[in-house]
């Protein structure tokens, strides 16, 4: 990142906020849509592209906004019987869906091109649900969430839903634990997670192909995961007084560090 003003802007954000350029997220959505044909429903492929197109107007806005899917129109996979390893086929056919919401704050417009403008991710919540394909019965669901500066658990965490159990359902307030550590929060990561679970061998074979579409998606995804891993490693190197677990649990990412590792 050569733009000194942009770096200073990101350094001014409070701990726990991540920032992205609009162009980075647009590129990820289009790259993933290009490799998802055999796993995502056609209407969801179109929806990914529609989500990408909505980022441009947000980049030109000055107001906080919510960006994501609607509850009645999640991103939905095709059905699968290949969720066991070694190409084992099961009798139960299932599918997965993703609903997500991002609370976006456009930052100062330091660039004329909207793609090069930045936003702070104030909040992120993604819900994955697995259902039977034949009867549409819900089997399980969980959230991938992003914390804030005051959140008590891991900043990047997954949360199961216990209200499906009888005793938990009787409680007035849902139990907010456990918050399981993860770093999946982008919708493309959540979808790839679903693909890898529903098609244990099929997605692995697709991911190992070297066509231009897969190479593009792999590079974007790999580079971003490397940035996240580098941030984690720096946290452990610079924090010696806490246990390994508490080092991770109390870590709040730094927007400038995360962005700087990309440039």
pLDDT digits (tens, 9 = 90+) for 17-67: 889 999 999 999 999 999 999 999 999 999 999 999 999 999 988 889 999
Output the pLDDT for position 97. 97
What is the model's pLDDT at position 32? 97
Tokens of 12: 């001014």
How long, in residues, is the chain? 263
Q: How far apart are CA 101 and CA 187, in angstroms?
A: 9
State how far the Cα of 68 lies from the Cα of 121, in Å rounded to an integer.
12
Residue span of the structural domain in which 24 resides: 4-260
Distance CA 8, CA 260 (A): 11
- 201-204-207 Cα angle (round to 5): 150
C-alpha to C-alpha distance for 144 and 183, rounded to whole angstroms: 8
| Structure confidence at residue 168 (pLDDT) | 46
- Give CA angle at 42 (41, 47), nearest 5°: 95
Q: Which two tokens stand for residue 89?
A: 């086929």
Supply 54's token pair.
Answer: 């909505």
Which residues of the chain have a pLDDT value below 70? 1-2, 162-174, 260-263
Residue-level pLDDT at 164? 54
Tell whether the torsion through CA atoms of 9, 24, 26 and 83 is positive or negative.
negative
Closest CA to 30 of 217, 167, 180: 217
**Closest CA relative to residue 186, chosen from 62, 250, 100:** 100
CA distance 171 to 164: 11
How far out from the chain centre does Cα 182 lie? 10
| Contact criterion met (CB below 8 Å) for 1 and 111 | no
φ, ψ for residue 21, nearest 5 deg: -80, 145
User: Using CA atoms, how far apart are residues 76 and 126, in angstroms rounded to an integer?
Assistant: 13
Quote the number of domains for the chain: 1
Alpha helices in 94-201 (DSSP H): 166-169, 187-198
Q: Which residue bears the tokens 């307030």?
A: 173
pTM of the model: 0.88
Here the tokens at position 190 are 């959540």
């Amino acid at each position: 990142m050569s733009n000194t003003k942009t770096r200073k802007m990101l350094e001014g954000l409070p701990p726990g906020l991540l920032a992205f350029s609009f162009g980075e997220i647009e590129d990820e959505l289009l790259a993933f849509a290009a490799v998802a044909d055999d796993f995502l429903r056609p209407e969801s492929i179109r929806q990914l592209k529609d989500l990408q197109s909505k980022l441009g107007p947000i980049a030109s806005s000055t107001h906080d906004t919510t960006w994501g899917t609607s509850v009645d129109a999640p991103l939905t996979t095709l059905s699968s019987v290949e969720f066991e390893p070694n190409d084992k086929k099961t009798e139960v056919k299932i599918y997965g869906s993703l609903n997500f919401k991002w609370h976006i704050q456009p930052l100062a417009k330091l660039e004329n091109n909207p793609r090069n403008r930045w936003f702070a991710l104030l909040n992120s919540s993604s819900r994955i649900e697995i259902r039977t394909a034949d009867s549409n019965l819900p089997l399980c669901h969980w959230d991938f969430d992003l914390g804030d500066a005051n959140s008590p658990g891991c900043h990047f965490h997954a949360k199961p839903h216990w209200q499906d159990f009888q005793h938990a359902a009787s409680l007035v307030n849902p139990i907010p634990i456990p918050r399981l550590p993860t770093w999946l929060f982008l919708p493309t990561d959540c979808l790839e997670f679903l693909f890898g679970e529903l098609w244990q061998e099929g997605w692995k074979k697709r991911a190992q192909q070297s066509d231009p579409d897969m190479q593009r998606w792999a590079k974007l995804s790999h580079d971003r995961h490397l940035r996240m891993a580098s941030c984690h490693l720096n946290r452990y190197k610079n924090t010696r007084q806490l246990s390994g677990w508490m080092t991770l649990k109390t870590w709040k990412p730094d927007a400038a560090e995360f962005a700087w590792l990309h440039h």
